[in-house]
Structure 1
Amino acid sequence: MERMFLMRKKQKRFRGIHAETFLLGGKPIIGDYIPWIKSKKMEKRLIECQIKRDSFMQYLIEEQRRKILETDCCVEKKKNLIQVLLSLQQNEPEYYTDDIIKGLILVLLLAGTDTSSTTMEWALSLLLNHPEVLEKAQIEIDEHVGHDRLMDEADLAHLPYLRSILNETLRMYPPAPMLVPRESSEECLVGGFRIPRGTMLSVNMWAIQNDPKIWPDPRKFRPERFDNPEGARDGFKLMPFGYGRRSCPGEGLALRVVGLALGSLIQCFEWQIDGDKMVDMTEGTGFTIPKAQPLEVTCRPRPSMLRHLCEI
């Protein structure tokens, strides 16, 4: 009972830090571009948030460090990520410092989880507002995977329509609409404007992927536009993960994890909106694009998949 209480306490603490991080990160900080109007109040909030994050990550490290010391070294046991990194720290302490480990954990917890869950929420919202697309995706999964097993990662390569749904969701609601800031290494011209060396730059990926000059009817959910998914990359039209050497290193993992999770939800459940209203697609504010109104929906197991769900 005590262990569960401590777990919930950690979860609550992390959720608070998570929410504050993305709330502050989503606000444009004009002082970064015009130093003489920098807000001391905002700077203080950012510093306080960083102290909270750092303290929590250090707490997780110390917790796992104690567990390693308390565990019998002769007993073979599967290690979690922090324990693996701490074991590497013993051999290469100059590289696997606590700060490096905290940075890796932070990237996985913040960048990896929020963007994936937000993308899935948008995808389900779009599917519920377009039941014909949801039905088509369900038929594709039923025909390829069947009802005798749950779908797995290997099935994704044979589900092109599911991938089109994911691409269209990422086009309409990119998880990082402004990507991450860049700095020009040399003076250059962008759109006819001279950009001095060392200038901080942000790419408005949302505007590119919703530009009517590039995408016909950009605010309409049409997965069929990705029947040839490779063509969307031509001319830098679709870049939800960025592009080139500085693109998101987690792109491949994200597409597999979100694709498998979304496909499994489609395969295993029937989804229904409460009432006759459409899902509210209003966008919220933040570093990512959260929904202004969280998705609330009713689901029930599909009869053909009930046996598999009971075995989980």
Structure 2
Amino acid sequence: MLQIHWYVLAIIVFLLVIFKPFFIQKQEIYKSLPPSPPSLPIIGHLHLLKQPVHRTLQSLSQKYGEILLLRCGARNILLVTSPAAVEECFTKNDIVFANRPRLLAGKHFTYNYKTVIVAPYGDLWRNLRRVMTLEVLSPARLAPSSNIRQDQVRSLVSQLMQSYASGARKVELKSKFTDLSFNVMTMIIAGKRYFGDDFEDVEEAKQFRDVIRGTLDLSGVSNIGDFLPFLEWIDFQGYEKKMRGLMIKMDKFLQKLVEEHRQVLLIGNKESDSDGSAKKTVVDNLLMMQEKDPEFYTDEIIKGIMLVFLIAGSETSSSTMEWAMALLLNHPDVLKKARAEIDANVGLGCMLDEQNLPKLNYLHNIINEALRLYPPVPLLLPHEASNDCKVHGYDVPHGTMLMINAWAIQRDPELWVEPTRFIPERFEGWNGEGYKLLPFGGGRRGCPGVAMANRVIGLALGALIQSFEWERVGGEEIDMVEGLGLTMPKVKPLEAIYRPRIVITEHPL
């Protein structure tokens, strides 16, 4: 979304008056539209959408109602902050809202809408989701990849141990979590890690991380041309040029990975498991599928699958780990309780692994509470109505963009006791009732990587809690100010004081 300054607004209105006949569509008559705040001619409610947008939209919902119709230029937006209405959208109207709007970021960052996140609902989307599930996200695939996740978490713990032995007492955790999440995904996808002492081209890895950050930042802004189509002709805000530049760098990195694996497959030089069978990565399997069905498994499709895992799969997990650790540092009593649970269920002489996670209920409560307070995507990715439908008795015209404010729902005092407080105990006995907790979306377009994310987050947080004592830097409370972008980063990267626990030092990895 965006904030429009008065002088920009004046230019837009002037241009709209001139070009009005070219983009104003015929308005159909609907008997019972959702309530709508007062708006300006032509631009509608665009001027109201100030940063941070999830907070602005929460204020609008509190003032005008939980189901609102916003008119933003040529687009209608259905804004929902009611769990009952969300349930209706994701059940009764799930197929109607299974499409995604075609926005500029989707065009440039997803190979022209060819990834599972933004592909139109249909055969392409179904095939992409099936391939990603079968190759990485199914229970049958998650179990064998547990050693990758565990190895990368143990590597992080070892790095911290070594840094402490060298005299370090303070660590910046944001980059550690980012590197960990990215390494997990690149190991699963391509069989190589990109951050750590064993990677030769550190500069390439840092550049790619910057590209990912830039991609997420640009995906989180609103291009005015998405709402006022005629402005796309002139790239009014310069976003399209920036997107093209970032995607060129992104594509170069992904294509290099594809070519590396293509060459290895051609010469048949693959590392083998102990039983003699070759170790194959996701890229290897996709390239073999390409040989059988080159029309579907093009390089763009393969790179699009890689891109989704590398960005969506790593950024959301690392962001959640940072917020969760910041909350624990601000609530040492919760941290102490979590450590006691791990000590009781895992023991003092061995490192926590994924098999221990089902026994760590309080750790899961902490993660759920962190996701409630700081969802990785505060405004769920938008949906689009493919037909007219009704939501809570209101008429919703076809083509309407559905925006669900998960951040507002998850902090609603009507739904949660003391909604702004960090209380992991609220999730004791939680069975996911209703649509009150939505960090991964819902319906058929919900995130398919929930199980993967929970394993990475749980394993990393659990290992850090088990292995180290943690304190705030200077004793002051952690700054919890939210940044801008598609995901919701902390403005100030998380730093903490740490020291190895005696029991872990006596039982090294």
Q: 2:309 aligns with which of 103, 108, 117?
A: 108
Match of 1:15 in 2: 209
Answer 1 or 2: higher relative contact order, Cα 8 Å, separation at least 6.
2
Give the letter aligned to residue 151 of structure 1: L
Identical residues among aligned pairs (%)? 48
Partner of 1:177: 378
Q: Please report how far the alpha carbon of residue 224 of structure 1 lies from its aligned counterpart in structure 2 after TM superposition.
A: 0.8
Of residues 282, 294, 298 in structure 1, which corresponds to 2:493?
294
Q: CA deviation at 1:74?
A: 10
- Contact 1:33–1:200, Cα closer than 8 Å, also in 2: no
Deviations, residues 60-92 of structure 1 (Å, cap 9, x unaligned): 211222333355479764233322322332233
**Where does residue 26 of structure 1 map in the other structure?**
220
**Mapped contact 1:270–1:299 kept (Cα < 8 A):** yes
Q: Which residue of 218, 240, 254 corresponds with 1:57? A: 254
Larger radius of gyration: 2
TM-score of the aligned structures, taking structure 2 as reference length:
0.57
Among 250, 262, 266, the residue aligned to 2:465:
266
How many angstroms does 1:37 deviate by?
4.5
**After alignment, is 292-301 or 123-132 more displaced?**
292-301
AA aligned opposite 2:211:
I
Q: Distance in 2 between matches of 1:30 and 1:181?
A: 16
- Contact kept, 8 Å, 2:380 with 2:406, in 1: the verdict is yes
How many equivalent residue pairs? 306
Question: Do structure 1's residue 138 and structure 2's residue 138 form an aligned pair?
Answer: no
Question: Can you list the C-alpha shifts for 1:93-118, whole angstroms capped at 9, x where unaligned?
Answer: 23322111101110111000111011
CA distance in 2, matches of 1:190, 1:283: 31
Q: Mapping of 1:149-168 within 5 angstroms?
A: 149-168=350-369
Partners in 2 of 1:292 and 1:278 — Cα distance?
15
Aligned to 2:445: 246
| RMSD over equivalenced CA pairs, Å | 2.2
Q: In terms of mean alpha carbon deviation, does 66-75 or 198-207 score higher?
A: 66-75
Shift of 1:194: 3.7
Q: Structure 2 counterpart of 1:148, which letter?
A: G
Point out the more displaced range, 183-192 or 49-58. Answer: 183-192
Looking at structure 2, the residues matched to 111 and 284 of structure 1 have their Cα atoms a distance apart, in angstroms, of 18
**How far apart in 2 are the matches of 1:255 and 1:74?**
30
Q: Is the 8 A contact 2:326 2:494 kept in 1?
A: yes
Q: Structure 1: which 5+ residue stretches go unaligned?
A: none
User: Per-residue deviation at 1:221?
Assistant: 0.3
Hey, what does 1:42 align to over in structure 2? 239
CA displacement at 1:6 relative to structure 2: 5.3
Which protein has the bigger helix share? 1
Question: 1:141 is aligned with what amino acid?
Answer: I
Q: Structure 2 counterpart of 1:106, which letter?
A: L
Q: Secondary structure at the match of 1:12?
A: helix
* Structure 2 stretches lacking a partner, 5+ long: 1-196
Change (3 A) 1:191 1:288: farther
Residue 121 of structure 1 deviates from its aligned partner by: 0.4
1:307/1:86 CA distance change after superposition, 3 Å? farther
How do 1:70-149 and structure 2 match up within 5 A? 70-72=267-269, 77-149=278-350
